[in-house]
Structure 1
Amino acid sequence: MTDQRSVPRALIVLLCTAGAVVTLAGIREVGSIVGPVLLALVLVLAVSPVRTWLQRRGAPGWTLVAVPLALVLLLLFGMVAILTVAVAETANLASTYGPEFNRLVTGLQNLATRFGVGTEQVNQTIKSFDLGKVFALVQGFASGLLGLFSSLVLIVVLLLAMCLDAQPFSRVLAAGAASRPLLVRALGDFAHKTRRYLVVSTVFGLICSVLDVAALWMLGVPLPLLWGVLALITNYIPNLGFILGLIPPALLGLLEGGPKTMIFVIASYIAINFVVQSLIQPKFLGDAVGLSTTMTLLSLLVWAFVLGPLGALLAIPLSLLARALLIDSDPDGRWAAALISGEVPDGERP
């Protein structure tokens, strides 16, 4: 038998990297199938405590499938409706505020002339800035998700199948705990961490959304409720979601009330996000995610590249699944887990 120590570590790293690249490229090619499957999996995991609660209280067997499925469908169709309205309203607003944008351009040209900046230079800068392109950033994100939700029949069928298989799958995992303890424990941790991440992100996302809506309403920004819901959805996107949720109301504040209103909108969003999500939320989330800040950002970039907007929305759950299958289930993966989470194993602390 070949001694594993004789294999150069650099070769192992290169082979693993090549395998990861090929796998991600393959997933990207079949993203129209993999995307709905992963979305259905995360949604079913999110409502699995409801099934457990019903089972403990002796509810009929059909309710263990019907109630979680109804909750997931309600959530799914609600998200589709919100994204549809967001796409339509963003397209309408981009054309409605054309005159206001032209007045801002004229004011900017006059201001530049006062400071001795050439009109031609200002015009070149303004030409590079297209209001429609800025609105299209958020509209493209929502449209990308709607493109996935256009295959609602497939998603509903997958949700029904997973809800039906949830209880048998739990029994299979319980039976395999003796022969594959690390894998079963890793999958259990993945489900637990995913649910905790979704719950905490949803609760604090709702808090931020309510505060955002109140701030936008006081500042007179149009459609504050819509932008509050958009802020809730983009809250699930790590690091960059806050910016995506801020762009539409900030631009509308500029067009509706001028630079002063836009500054107030940006300041309000930053203050709310900093207090709620940077100071309070981490105390409740704790180490539930198990990913360092760098790995969180890399997860966003990789999964957004592979699966598009859906990959950005589900970046954390998908990374947790990859960690469970590739690292946590491996008895020699403690240091890899430490590198990903940024935490030294208990037995190795100095």
Structure 2
Amino acid sequence: MEKAGLGEVYEKLEAGERLSREDGLNLFKTRDLLALGRLAQKVRVRLHGRRVYYVINRHLNYTNVCENRCRFCAYWRAPGDPEGYVLSPEEAVTRLSQGPPPREIHIVGGLHPELPYHYYLELLSAVHEAFPQAAIKAFTCVEIDHLSRISGKPVEEVLRDLKEAGLSCLPGGGAEIFSERVRRKLFPRKISAERWLEIARTAHHLGIPTNATMLYGHVETLEERVEHLLRLRSLQDETQGFLCFVPLPFLPEKTPLREEIRPTTGFEDLRVMAVSRLLLDNIPHLKAYWVFLGVKLAQLALHFGADDLHGTVVEEKISEASGGREAEALSREEIERLVRTAGFEPVERDAFYRAVAPEGV
């Protein structure tokens, strides 16, 4: 560790001390990826042993019409675009009915300027009625802000309405990177970092857990990455409401930024994974999201701090539109094979990371 310049970090970890901003920068700057991975894996094994979690889930993207028009997104369509779509609650249920019964349903979409507030409540109610066994993880903090604006209701009231309609927890998307410099450059219409954190805080105080994400590999600096992670860590100190952190590499291939920005390398993806595990000492789970990373790199990330391989997915359209690297779905058997051949123990979970007995096995 001394040769890698990580001796001080190693000593802090051994003593149970929290890593600093300066430590985070040093971790991002090290070239010794294997030493960094060993540190992250030490923390991961202490927290979770050899367990790797996954969930039988479905993804639903209910509309691609969005008024935010983020430069990094290839999914959105303007209102009136012939390629734009909206799923009715009935169509949503039909799409979700394929395959084995899900334990978790992940619902996100664009900010459609013409969809009424009651549409979102009816969508949740229909899905909850059709799949009572599944936890519904729906609507990012960005979407919650949109619902607050179109309804004229405060965020707390919106969240209560959604919870009554069947909401279990919030996904972590929309955080992107908390730097206002980057937000002005790439997605100026999106809510501020402060607003995202405020909505997450409100959800946590209402007993609605959430995930958190970071989109990296575009125009952000290492300092901005560290700042993002530390702001999440600070809110988690306050609320303990984040279940999982999900680092997301930017996929430029089909976006307007494809000529300006190259895709991340595997080296960088594993470094971000490891640093995330080391800095986020209070967020219990770290996800290797195979839809973005690809299954082989996600499998390797299990040795760099990750303890969650996400799930079966099925029909995730946003990353696919941006050049996502993999097929739409993995079976339970495929996920367990990936976990076991990497040297870990697969654990099927629910949305709250409680171990469950596989159905039909």
- Name the TM-score, length of structure 2 as normaliser: 0.27
- Name the TM-score, length of structure 1 as normaliser: 0.28
Larger CA Rg, structure 1 vs 2: 1
- Higher helix proportion (structure 1 or 2): 1
Q: Which has the higher contact order (CA 8 A, sep 6+)?
A: 2
